[in-house]
Structure 1
Amino acid sequence: MSRIVFVHGSFVPEEEARISLFDRGFLFGDAVYEVTAVIDGRMIDNDLHLARFARSLKEMNIPLALSLDRIVSIQLELIERNDLQHGTVYLQVSRGEADRDFLYSDKMEPKLVGFTQAKRLTGTAAQRDGISVDLAPDQRWQRRDIKTAMLLAQVMAKQAARARGFDDVWLVEDGLVTEGASSTAHIITADRRILTRPASRATLPGCTQRAVARLCAEQGLLFEERAFTPEEAQGAAEAFQTSASSLVMPVVRIADKSIGDGKPGPMTRHLQTLYLEAAGVKA
């Protein structure tokens, strides 16, 4: 059966989906997106993702006539129509359609599209064994706190890292790690402190990061929002990254340095278990 997608108010087979040549998301990257994980047919941390979605739209001055409840119903229908058990639900809102012009009218009608992608998120080799990440200069724009569809810098960084034999890449600016190209970077120090960048315009506020921070508070684990250098990261006891599609992902090598003994550490394993249990998933 063909995958069913949502385009401008209708559920249609993906072969029938059409987006205008003059859509500003296509012409300028003038769009906001969000991705929610689906495990065992259920969305994970969707309230956090929709809150970030709404914030990004507000920061971009893109109005959305649909309520968040209606968006949830669209997500659920996409999951049901595609019988999605494991994967993600993608949403994107562009400012709308108009002849190409850098300036836009406040009367434009935003366009919402959505689709599912089947993907195993738990029990993968990467989750079990960990991944390697390269380090690369952060060449993105200055409003990284907005989840826009302008992802060329991330695409290029990930592609270069893959060509160098790495699974992913962390970005560096002014001598400090900002975040992963599509994830939040974390390290664990020898005295068991979990470090990650504080919220600012330099990084995207991570939804999975927030969920992990909440779990750490509940468990009495030391979660500290502080920037760290690449050298601190390479000398850390453990490292991991978080995102909707990678959940809590162990990082066992950063550039040319193995982290710890080159295997996922005990605190990272504990956090993986805590996160899945909180999500109602058997670890």
Structure 2
Amino acid sequence: MTRIVHVNGRYLPEDQATVSIFDRGFLMADGVYEVVSVLDGRLLDFEGHMKRLARSLDELGMSHPMTDEEWLEAHRRLIAENDITDGLVYLQVTRGNPGDRDFAYPPKDTPPTVVMFTQSKPGLAENPQADTGLRVCTLPDLRWARRDIKTVQLLYPSMAKMEAKARGCDDAWMVEDGHVTEGTSNNAYIVKDGTIVTRALSDDILHGITRAAVLRLAAEAQLAVEERNFTVEEAKAADEAFVTSASAFVMPVVAIDEAAVGTGAPGPVARRLREIYLDEMRRTAV
């Protein structure tokens, strides 16, 4: 079945969807995006994703093309049109088509381009890697300095993920000045003596929506949390490690640069956080 996608307010088959070659998202990577997970046909942490979308748009001086209510209606329509039970809804907003290529921003009244589509992922919450864990390798963090804005500039993370796979790993943790920043598409954590450690929010990392929820749930479960930088050496000596993201939820990390983390198997803190996170997200989904 051909997917129904959304382009600038129109719902149409994916093979009929087009965007101008002069769109700044295509020419300049001048755009932002969000990915909202779907479980049992409902959206997880939708409000958090909308708040981050608004922040990304504001940081880039872009207009807001839709209200939160309109975004929710569009998400729900795509879920229904494509019969999504478990999966994802991707949305992208670019600065639009000014009519020709130019480094300067177009006038503020240039309509932004809005694209949305779904991805069906049956059994999204039953990912078998949650039982085996990820193996990561470390690579230099060579991205631009505003990683807090969720832009479509994803070439270096893609390069890092491909390098990790070439090394026999599942993903990469990126490193700056000896300290882990984050994964290619996720936030990074270690656990030592029962304390969860993750890098504090700044321009250096994406302000993960799953990160915020997991840290809140960890505090409610009376788990100690420290938001600070940690080194690769600390990570290798940790009792556990894990990552969080909108589509992987809480995913254990069992090896870093071929060195086993802890016992080399998913640890109890990561397992517990994954369970309570999924329970809470299912309870509050819209």
Q: What's the TM-score, normalizing by structure 2?
A: 0.96
Q: CA deviation at 1:107?
A: 2.4
Residue 161 of structure 2 is matched in structure 1 by: 158
Q: Which runs of 5+ in 2 are unaligned?
A: none
| 8 A contact 2:195–2:223 mirrored in 1 | yes
CA distance in 2, matches of 1:27, 1:265: 44
Deviations 1:169-188 (Å, cap 9, x if unpaired)? 11000110000110000110
Q: Which amino acid aligns with 2:103?
A: F
Q: Which amino acid aligns with 1:175?
A: G
Deviations 1:125-158 (Å, cap 9, x if unpaired)? 2112111111000000000000000111101000
Residue 136 of structure 2 is matched in structure 1 by: 133
SS state at 1:169 partner: strand
Whether 2:46 is the aligned partner of 1:50: answer: no
SS state at 1:80 partner: helix
Whether 2:125 is the aligned partner of 1:100: answer: no
Deviations 1:186-221 (Å, cap 9, x if unpaired)? 1100x2000111100000001001000110121111
Deviations 1:28-80 (Å, cap 9, x if unpaired)? 00000000111111111111111101100000101023111101110111111
Q: Which runs of 5+ in 1 are unaligned?
A: none
Residue 258 of structure 1 is matched in structure 2 by: 260
Q: CA deviation at 1:87?
A: 1.0
Matches within 5 A, 1:1-283: 1-98=1-98, 99-105=100-106, 106-119=108-121, 120-189=123-192, 191-280=193-282
CA distance in 2, matches of 1:152, 1:276: 30
| 8 A contact 1:121–1:247 mirrored in 2 | no
| 8 A contact 1:40–1:86 mirrored in 2 | yes
Q: CA deviation at 1:256?
A: 1.9
Q: Which amino acid aligns with 2:131?
A: R
CA distance in 1, matches of 2:13, 2:275: 37
| 8 A contact 2:188–2:242 mirrored in 1 | yes
| 8 A contact 1:88–1:118 mirrored in 2 | yes
